[in-house]
Structure 1
Amino acid sequence: MEDLDQVVVENFPRYLRIPSVHSNISYDECVGFLKNQARGLGLPISIHYFFPKKPVVIITWKGKEPHLPSIMLNGHMDAVPVFENGWTCDPFGAEMDDKGNIYARGAQDMKCVSIQYLEAIRRIKKENVTLKRTIHVSFVPDEEIGGFKDIKPFVESEAFKKLNVGFVLNEGSASLNNVLPLYYGERIRGVMLIHCPGQPGHGSLLLEHTAGEKLIKILDKFYKFREQEKKKLEEDSRVTIGDVTTVNLAVIEGGVQNNIIPPEFTLTIDCRIAITVNLKEFEETFNEWCKEAGEGVWIEYQQKESQVPATKLDEFNSYWIAFKKTADHMDVQLKPQILMAMSDSLFANALHSPITAC
């Protein structure tokens, strides 16, 4: 076990030192690293490209009964950008402190999980155990910017169908105790550009129906709604952020100089909609707000996702039963909840197939 522990503390920093951060990523080093990992585990590796320079890497451990639906352990290779002046250490140094903590961009989200997948397989193989089902460990690019050019075309491809996936385990979040969040569904993402046209003119005038007046009215609607959702969180401790709908102003565009009333302001609203919300009614509400804000206010949807059913955690889901039984055996308490953000699990669940994704 000491030798295996040493492998972990060597492999994990190697992966972290690859600067696979946005906005201009080359995944070549990640692919090379994963090829070496597959070679060390004695497992086959396949690499798929659905868009140039966007590799989807699969390491496969064949089970004793490969005809059974397989298990996919998914992780993404990319990480969010780094602002180095906010770091007290090299964000790609993967330095370890005297307590054994390793610091680097992507350590939590989510290179640690991907390394855990591989090291768990290494330990099981060392015990000369072969699992009943085939395991596929997937490494995908660009999760942090939506996954539309990698995981989405991948799960819709023939290559994915051939893997015969029955269960997908994806990223979650850390816990400081033995109560672990289990994300079995995700909120619906929407990005709206709200156009507020109005009467332009000189800044010395008091014109009617200006873009700014309409902007204030529409923002007032959104922020009153936002306060209602915040109250739901404050008034019921059982409610998590994934159970409510969040709307947040992200960008305001418009204006040419400081003494001119512009012909239009455009608001970018980031919206994460709870899975209990009726999307049609919700959209109608937004349209009504636009009418009340003033003539000509309209919504352009930059991103508009469909409702995706959550994974059912019941007695009819054999994967859930096995997962829960193992957690109970390990004295780990699972806290099922809806993920507040968006992950690659969304695309697996969207297939409307027997696949279970968590």
Structure 2
Amino acid sequence: MSSGRVEEAAVANFREYLRIPSVQPDVNYGDCVAFLKKQAVSLGLPLKVYSVVSGKPVVVLTWEGSEPNLPSVLLNSHMDVVPVFPDKWTHDPFSAYKDKNGNIFARGAQDMKCVGIQYLEAVRQLMSKGVQLRRTVHISFVPDEEIGGKDGMAKFINTSDFLGLNVGFALDEGMAEPSDQFPLFYGERSIWHMLVHCPGTTGHGSALLPDTAGEKVRIIIDHFMDFREQEKKKLDSDPSLTLGDVTTVNLTQLKGGVQSNVVPPELVLVFDVRLPVTVDHAEFEDMVNRWCSEAGPGTYVEFEQKEPKVQVTKLDSFNPWWLAFKSACDDMKLELKPAIFPGGTDSRYVRGVGLPALGFSPMNKTPVLGHDHDEFLNEDVFLKGIDIYCQIIQAIGNVASPKK
């Protein structure tokens, strides 16, 4: 293990970044910006801070290529992390404690401050070797990904500032993987957060009133949970499928009621639904509306979030970015595991404007602990990831311009 030697400067940078408590829901990004400005100075790279939404900066470091007019490469990561329950952690979640095995414990160790630093350190290594890439590389650090990215990448990508970056291809986050393989995500499911309103007859809790909200709730829950069970069986029965290939349904909230002896005038069910790329959105919505009709008069769906279907990034011989990425991985003998990402990342916004994007975090032989207690990343895995990115960034940064 590397704990016996003088700590790598890259690991020290990683731990310093992890100690910044950029935790949702009320993030002060000032310390992250100050840290990144210091990194830009050490790299000798220009840095710009874009303010699409006040208090939610987008930070971009730029390494100009020898042919800067070519579409550029975007290496994206997010600065924010999810909340913690400190009493559930073995170590302070913002101390970046490193144990004798080199495991670094901190919120964001896997999701995804590791990747942001690995980008910077890979570029540092390439520059120190005198490497000059054909294409310009932009390293972006965005806010609010952990709460949907609405004031982060979702808005930034529709600005003239983003257009000015001339992005042709983007890399973003993936996931840890306990096996020897490296997950590679070329698409994402669409997130639908649905509020099903079940109105009904109100009155005294001692009566047997007709058409109550509770009766409608039972019908709606039965439909959603029966569908959920079908998808679960589909996933369990086919080893070739991953979570990103099925529709997940989870009842996350039940709202309503005033007191225990009053039949409420309305109950509201909240469902988190993730639709895979194979599902027809209109057909799924029609099915839910039929369930509401069966539940009874007045039952309807309100969408808190309803993402459109976004095309996947094709992994074929017509995609030069994929060919370059895969060639670099093949040279390093990395076994890639292509899949649809089960959650949501900022890649969906990049793909949504027609740009190819891949999700990749080089964290194999690592338990999946993003959003979990005692999230950690081993420093040797972290350092190996920098070497991996060195090869990948060189490959994609030198993709030739298409022949006319």
Q: 1:337 aligns with which of 339, 344, 347?
A: 339
Does the CA-based 8 Å contact 2:347-2:357 persist in structure 1? no
Task: Please state if 1:52 is matched with 2:54.
Answer: yes
Equivalences for residues 62-73 of structure 1 within 5 A: 62-73=64-75
**2:201 aligned partner:** 199
Identical-residue share of aligned pairs (%) = 53
Residue-by-residue CA offset, 1:105-130 (whole Å, 9 max, x unaligned):
11110001111001111111111111
Measure how far apart 1:328 and its partner are. 0.8
Higher relative contact order (CA 8 A, sep 6+): 2
**Cα distance in 2 between the residues matched to 1:257 and 1:57:** 49
* Secondary structure, counterpart of 2:186 in structure 1: strand
Task: Summarize the Cα distance change of 1:115–1:4 in structure 2 as closer, same or farther, 3 Å threshold.
Answer: farther
2:110 alignment partner, SS class: helix
- Cα distance, 1:352 vs. partner? 2.3
Whichever residue aligns with residue 244 of structure 2, its letter is: G
Secondary structure in 1 aligned to 2:327? Answer: helix
Kindly indicate whether the alpha-carbon contact (under 8 Å) linking 1:91 and 1:105 is maintained by their aligned counterparts in 2. Answer: yes
SS of the residue corresponding to residue 310 of structure 2 reads coil
What corresponds to 2:318 in structure 1?
316
Q: Equivalents in 1 of 2:213, 2:154: separation in Å? A: 38
Say which of 273, 296, 299 aligns to 2:298: 296
Give the 3-state SS of the residue equivalent to 2:286 in structure 1.
Answer: helix
2:63 partner letter: W
Distance 1:175 1:216 in 2: 39
**Which amino acid is 2:178 matched to?**
L
In the TM superposition, what is the alpha-carbon distance from 1:176 to its structure 2 partner?
A: 3.2
Question: Within 5 Å, which residues of 2 pair with 1:129-278?
Answer: 129-278=131-280
Q: Residues 208, 222 of structure 1: CA spacing in aligned structure 2 closer, same or farther, 3 A cutoff? A: same
CA contact (8 A) 1:46 1:59 kept: yes
| Structure-1 separation of matches of 2:46 and 2:326 | 30
Q: Which one of the candidate residues 72, 75, 78 is aligned to 2:77?
A: 75
Whole-angstrom CA distance in 2 between matches of 1:87 and 1:3: 27
Contact map agreement 1:65 1:134 (CA 8 A) in 2: yes
1: CA distance, partners of 2:357 / 2:179 = 26
> One-letter code of the match for 1:98?
K
Q: CA deviation at 1:201?
A: 1.0
- 1:283 counterpart = 2:290: no
Deviation at 1:357, TM superposition (A): 4.0
Deviation digits for residues 21-69 of structure 1 (CA, Å, limit 9, x no counterpart): 0111100000000000000001000000111000000001111111111
Amino acid aligned to 2:298: G
Aligned length in residues: 357
One-letter amino acid of the counterpart of residue 36, structure 1: K
Correspondence 1:39 to 2:41? yes
**CA distance in structure 1 between the partners assigned to 2:353 and 2:40 by the alignment:** 29
TM-aligned CA deviation for residue 168 of structure 1: 0.4
Asked whether the 8 Å contact 1:56–1:150 carries over to 2, the reply is yes
Q: How far off is 1:240 after superposition? A: 0.5
Is contact 2:172-2:357 (8 Å) kept?
Answer: no
TM value normalised by structure 1: 0.97
Question: Match for 1:214: what amino acid?
Answer: K
Cα deviation, 1:185-205, whole Å, max 9, x if unaligned, reads 000111111000111111111
Residue matched to 1:347 = 349
Instruction: Give how far 1:261 is off.
Output: 0.7
Taking the aligned partners of 2:177 and 2:6, their CA distance within structure 1 comes to 24
Preserved CA contact (<8 Å) 2:184 2:358: no
Per-residue displacement from partner, 1:242-297 (whole Å, max 9, x unpaired)? 00001111110111011111111001111101111111111000000001111111
Question: 1:114 maps to what in 2?
Answer: 116
Q: Is the 8 A contact 1:348 1:357 kept in 2?
A: no
**After the TM superposition, which parts of structure 1 deviate over 4 Å for at least 4 consecutive aligned residues?**
2-5
Instruction: Give me the whole-angstrom Cα distance separating, in 2, the residues matched to 1:286 and 1:153.
Output: 30
Whole-Å separation in 2 of the counterparts to 1:155 and 1:5: 37
**Residue type at the aligned position of 1:301:** F
Displacement of 1:178 after TM fit?
Answer: 3.4
Partner of 1:9: 11
**CA distance, structure 1, for counterparts of residue 5 and residue 68 of structure 2:** 31
Once the two structures are superposed, residues 160-195 of structure 1 have per-residue CA deviations (whole angstroms, 9 ceiling, x without a partner) of: 111111110000011234311110000011111100
Preserved contact between residue 192 and residue 304 of structure 2 (Cα < 8 Å):
yes
Paired residue type of 1:40: S
Shift, 1:4, TM fit: 10
CA contact (8 A) 1:166 1:356 kept: no
Distance change (3 Å), C-alpha of 1:37 and 1:3:
farther
Residues 58-84 of structure 1: CA distance to partner in whole angstroms, max 9, x if unpaired?
001111111111111100000001111
Distance in 1 (alpha carbons) for counterparts of 2:293 and 2:154? 36
Tell me if the contact between 1:178 and 1:331 (Cα under 8 Å) persists in the aligned partners: no
